[in-house]
Amino acid sequence: MKRVLNWLRNFLWGDRMPCGEYDVPGLEDWLERQARRGRVLRNWASFAEGVPSECRFCLEPAAKREYEPSDEKLADYAAAGWEYVCRTRGGAFLVWRSTSPDPVPLRTDPTADSYAYDYLWRRFLLQMALWLAYIIGMAGIAGYNLARDRHFLLNIMQDAETSWLVVYLALVLGYIAFVQFSGLRTLRRLMRSLRAGVPMERRKSRIPFRTVYLLAACGIPLYLACGMLSVWEPEHVDLADDLTPFAAVDALGGTADGAKVTRVRTFLGRTVTVAQGDCDLLWRDSGRSTKDLIRIVCDTQQTVYLPYFPALSGPLLRELAEAYIPEDGGLPAETLDTDCFDDAFYVNSDGIQHFAARKDGRVLYCRTTAPEDLRDHLPELAAVLADTD
Amino acid sequence: MAREPLRVLTEPMFYVLLSLLRQERCGTEIMQYTDDTTAGRVTLGPGTLYTILAKFQEERLIEETAVEGRKRTYRITERGRALYREELGRLRLCVADGEREGQLYLSSLGLPERGGGEP
């Protein structure tokens, strides 16, 4: 048990880098503290259990195309009491260790040492430029798809909630920006300090780095587990009592016998409505609870889209009316002149009715074989959008 | 942070150039020479030495003359000698300024002048 706890402690906290990868004094200090705890460095950020010892570590910027130190360097450094251990992730630094109580310092002239960072600095700038190019490229692809792909918005909104998509993108881009600018700041400070002839002081590890990792390491599995357990205790409600807005099947000339609506409240407070019953009557949500799907009743496939940015509702409706409905129904959608919606489109193709409409930045799409004409129920359909949270 | 050409030499850099003035040397010999000449006052760590040698080669102040196994030998170039002379002149001026200022200080106190102008 103690071993498991030790392993967990090291895995989640001790063996995690406490600072950025360019914080050389911080990393050297961390490696020395790890050695004192008996964590022997094998490869970068990979430790083995060993005997606690007093070691000194030195991170040296790798020269251009210096993947491993040369034999000459190994011998010279060994004569000074230093042994080569590994390279850091990405190969920015060579890690040297000395177990000698009084080794010859590897670095003795901060100003001269600053020149060793020239290549690393250029490499870092190139890396930043590549990230920037990547982000611009991704934005370009998204823009191109937005302009060209006939179902671009529809696909996105059917696969993921737009709000989560935005949050996800913001997190990814924010993380990249944080790591890059944090590295840039640290490296600049280090080089300026050295150029001024002052070795950068050793700082104690900073908590946020490891805390962020810990939260991510624990939070993501926890979130996934909660997502899986979210169907734990479904709360059954009668169709009539269901507060989720819908256009009732009765109103459209159908029957709802045997229909049962299950509302599942997830751990994070999101409510997913699943319609169950005879397949003839109900279209069953296939469990893709992350869709912007609000309500499906009987043989009316009724979908409400809530774009995170209401400005996207126009392009989304155009996709539905100009691409999706003509492809699915085989006929072009006609524009409806109605006060109930900002824009509305309709087509009846061999008894299958398609209806797409937009109001106040929300989009409603219906596909139904209901016997009654949807155009006679526009106020009820408008009420669906009005009631939507 | 742009790459900067060498203008002023630090003490270890100066001794590296100095060690190559009369003869070609390898890295170990340069370290030994610096240690002997300065009686241990200037320490030249191997990491710093490698950086200085690489920088000097990049600036064409020294050049590699031979590689025998793990041993690389360097010699100073004309450009290196010029920078050495320039640095020596700068140091001489610093010393002269220091001595003159020291002697002025002693005179202002009415004390006899000492060799080197030390106050």
| pLDDT per residue as tens digits for the range B46-85 | 999 999 999 999 899 999 998 887 788 999 999 999 999 9
Looking at residue A181, what is its pLDDT? Answer: 84
Q: What is the CATH number of the domain that holds B30?
A: 1.10.10.10
pTM above threshold 0.80: no
**How would residue A349 be classed by pLDDT, with cut points 50, 70 and 90?**
confident
* Pick among A28, A64, A72, A185 to test the B interface (most B CBs inside 10 A): A72
- Is residue A272 over pLDDT 60? no
> In chain A, which residues have their Cβ closer than 8 Å to the Cβ of B55?
112, 115
**Statement to judge: residues A194 and A335 lie in one domain:** no
The pLDDT mean for chain A works out to: 76
- Is residue B100 over pLDDT 50? yes
Shortest CA distance from B12: residue in chain A: A109
**Statement to judge: residues A253 and A155 lie in one domain:** no
Rounded to a whole number of angstroms, the distance from the CA of B22 to the nearest CA of chain A is 23
**Statement to judge: residues A260 and A340 lie in one domain:** yes
Contact B1 A70 (CB under 8 A): no
A167: left (phi over 0), alpha (psi -120 to 50) or beta: alpha
Model ipTM?
A: 0.81
**Statement to judge: residues A244 and A181 lie in one domain:** no
Residue B53 lies in a domain: yes
**Statement to judge: residues A197 and A251 lie in one domain:** no
**Statement to judge: residues A72 and A133 lie in one domain:** yes
SS3 for A76-145 is HHHHCCCEEEEECHHHCEEEEEECCCCCCCCCCCHHHHHHHHHHHHHHHHHHHHHHHHHHHHHHHHHHHH
The domain containing residue B54 runs over which residues? 11-114
> In chain A, which residues have their Cβ closer than 8 Å to the Cβ of B1?
121, 188, 191-192
Report the DSSP pairing between strands A56-61 and A93-98. Answer: antiparallel
Interatomic CA distance for residues A284 and A96, integer angstroms: 62
Q: What is the CATH number of the domain that holds A343?
A: 3.40.1000
Nearest to A108 among B1, B44, B55 (CB): B44
pLDDT in tens, A27-74: 888 899 889 988 888 888 788 888 898 999 999 988 887 888 888 888
Length of chain B counted residue by residue: 119
Q: How many domains does chain B have?
A: 1
What distance separates the 2 farthest-apart alpha carbons in chain A? 92
Nearest to B45 among A105, A118, A188 (CB): A105
Inter-residue contact A336 to A344 (CB < 8 Å) = yes
Min mean pLDDT across A178-187, A246-255, B69-78 is at: A246-255
**Statement to judge: residues A266 and A341 lie in one domain:** yes
The domain containing residue A115 runs over which residues? 19-205
Min mean pLDDT across A133-142, A218-227, A244-253 is at: A244-253
Q: How many domains does chain A have?
A: 2
Average pLDDT over residues A232-259: 55
Residue A9 lies in a domain: no
| DSSP state for residue A44 in the 8-state scheme | T
**Statement to judge: residues A24 and A145 lie in one domain:** yes
Residue A190 lies in a domain: yes
Residue A107 lies in a domain: yes
* CB-based contact, B70 to chain A, within 8 Å: yes
* CB-based contact, B71 to chain A, within 8 Å: yes
Residue B2 lies in a domain: no
Tokens found for residue A349: 């193709």
What is the identity of the amino acid at A305?
Answer: Y
Average pLDDT over residues A156-180: 73
Looking at residue A112, what is its pLDDT? Answer: 87
**Statement to judge: residues A166 and A295 lie in one domain:** no
Residue A85 lies in a domain: yes
* Pick among B25, B51, B64 to test the A interface (most A CBs inside 10 A): B51
Interatomic CA distance for residues A153 and A307, integer angstroms: 9
Angle at Cα A106 formed by Cα A58 and Cα B20, nearest 5°?
150
* Pick among A115, A120, A190, A195 to test the B interface (most B CBs inside 10 A): A115
Tokens 């060579």 map to which residue?
Answer: A94
Residue A218 lies in a domain: no
Min mean pLDDT across A106-120, A173-187, A280-294 is at: A280-294
Highest mean pLDDT range out of A38-42, A69-73, B5-9, B36-40? B36-40
- Is residue A290 over pLDDT 50? no
Nearest to A76 among B10, B11, B46 (CB): B46
**Statement to judge: residues A190 and A267 lie in one domain:** no
What is the identity of the amino acid at A19?
Answer: C
